[in-house]
């Protein structure tokens, strides 16, 4: 039930059963947060790292003109703000998009984990680098893909990310976003998001109704937007896994 984090970090490398136990223990004290509520706000120096157990969370910035832009999407199993330990001030905000279950993990716990659990430390480091890779892909999409491809690309990415934590079926998943939310992710206006959705629908690439997205032919959708899943790093090479002698520590003196 609460094992999405474990499921996700397992992709990074072999966690032991003891690691699993530690992670499970961390995730016990969860709380419910309603939709559209800030978890941390720009300018803060927060004390907690948030783990998403259910629902969707986003990272966003507000431009001078007032527009919100979403720079990242966190799904169950994702940690929201691992970097608060280093940077002095948040340069962006984090908010729920839907009702969520989250765990607020004190920085000290993260510190303990990374001190005493080298494989967990490694997995966390891996997770932040994957986040950065996703960020790069979004950047490239904004610059180089037109609206329909860009949207299709997002849907493909979410399909894989949701499948990785066991929250998507073969051909679809829950997509409880508003068209305004999508607009803020894709750098489009809500009007054009709607147009683009109609376009993808008319080509039978997607079926989106009742907050559920269905992808009749995933291969076709991927071909349509030139989706290459490498950047998600969901398939670590066993070769590296075995020969990997690096461990990571984020420790406090």
Partner DNA sequence: CAGAAAATATAACATGCGTTGGAGTATTGA
Partner DNA sequence: TCAATACTCCAACGCATGTTATATTTTCTG
Residue ranges that bind DNA, judged by CB under 7 A: 146-148, 178-180, 187-192, 194-198, 210-211
Please choose which of DNA, a second copy, none residue 146 contacts, taking the beta carbon within 5 to 8 angstroms, the exact cut-off set by kind.
DNA
Near a second copy in 68-127, by CB under 8 A: 69, 71-72, 83, 85-89, 91-92, 111, 118, 122, 125-126
Minimum CB separation of residue 188 from DNA in Å reads 4
Within 13 Å and on the Cβ side, how many CA atoms surround 74? 29
Q: Does 226 bind a second copy (CB under 8 A)?
A: yes
Please choose which of DNA, a second copy, none residue 197 contacts, taking the beta carbon within 5 to 8 angstroms, the exact cut-off set by kind.
DNA
Give the rounded distance of the alpha carbon of 179 from its chain centre: 19
Residue 88 φ/ψ, nearest 5 degrees: -80, -25
Please choose which of DNA, a second copy, none residue 219 contacts, taking the beta carbon within 5 to 8 angstroms, the exact cut-off set by kind.
none
Query: CA-CA distance, 118 to 16, in Å (whole number)?
Result: 11
DSSP 49: E
Q: Does 247 bind a second copy (CB under 8 A)?
A: yes
CB 100 within 8 A of CB 56: yes
Query: Between the CA of residue 167 and those of 29, 75, 173, what are the distances in Å?
Result: 22, 10, 7
Query: Between the CA of residue 155 and those of 100, 111, 173, what are the distances in Å?
Result: 20, 35, 10
Dihedral sign of CA atoms 85, 86, 91, 97 in order? negative
Please choose which of DNA, a second copy, none residue 194 contacts, taking the beta carbon within 5 to 8 angstroms, the exact cut-off set by kind.
DNA
Nearer to a second copy, 202 or 253 (CB): 253
Chain positions contacting a second copy, by CB under 8 A: 45, 59, 61, 63-65, 67, 69, 71-72, 83, 85-89, 91-92, 111, 118, 122, 125-126, 128-133, 135-140, 142-145, 186-187, 226, 228, 230-231, 233, 236-237, 240, 245-253
């Amino acid at each position: 039930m609460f094992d999405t984090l474990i499921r996700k970090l397992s992709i990074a490398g072999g966690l032991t059963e003891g690691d699993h136990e530690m992670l499970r223990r961390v995730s016990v004290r969860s709380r419910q947060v309603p939709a559209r509520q800030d978890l941390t706000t720009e300018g803060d120096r927060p004390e907690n790292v948030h783990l998403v157990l259910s629902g969707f969370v986003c990272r966003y910035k507000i431009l001078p003109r007032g527009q919100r832009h979403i720079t990242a999407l966190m799904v169950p199993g994702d940690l929201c703000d691992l970097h608060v330990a280093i940077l002095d001030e948040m340069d962006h905000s984090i908010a729920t998009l839907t009702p969520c279950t989250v765990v607020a993990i004190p920085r000290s716990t993260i510190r303990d984990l990374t001190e005493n659990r080298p494989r967990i430390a490694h997995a966390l480091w891996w997770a932040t680098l994957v986040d950065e890779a996703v960020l790069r892909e979004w950047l490239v999409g904004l610059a180089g893909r037109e609206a329909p491809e860009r949207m299709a690309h997002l849907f493909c990415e979410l399909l894989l990310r949701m499948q990785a934590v066991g929250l998507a079926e073969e051909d679809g998943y829950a997509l409880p976003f508003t068209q305004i939310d999508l607009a803020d992710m894709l750098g489009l206006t809500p009007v054009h998001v709607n147009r683009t959705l109609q376009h993808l629908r008319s080509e039978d690439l997607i079926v989106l109704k009742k907050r559920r997205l269905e992808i009749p032919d995933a291969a076709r959708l991927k071909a349509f937007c030139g989706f290459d899943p490498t950047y998600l790093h969901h398939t670590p090479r066993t070769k590296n896994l075995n020969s990997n002698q690096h461990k990571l520590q984020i420790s406090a003196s």
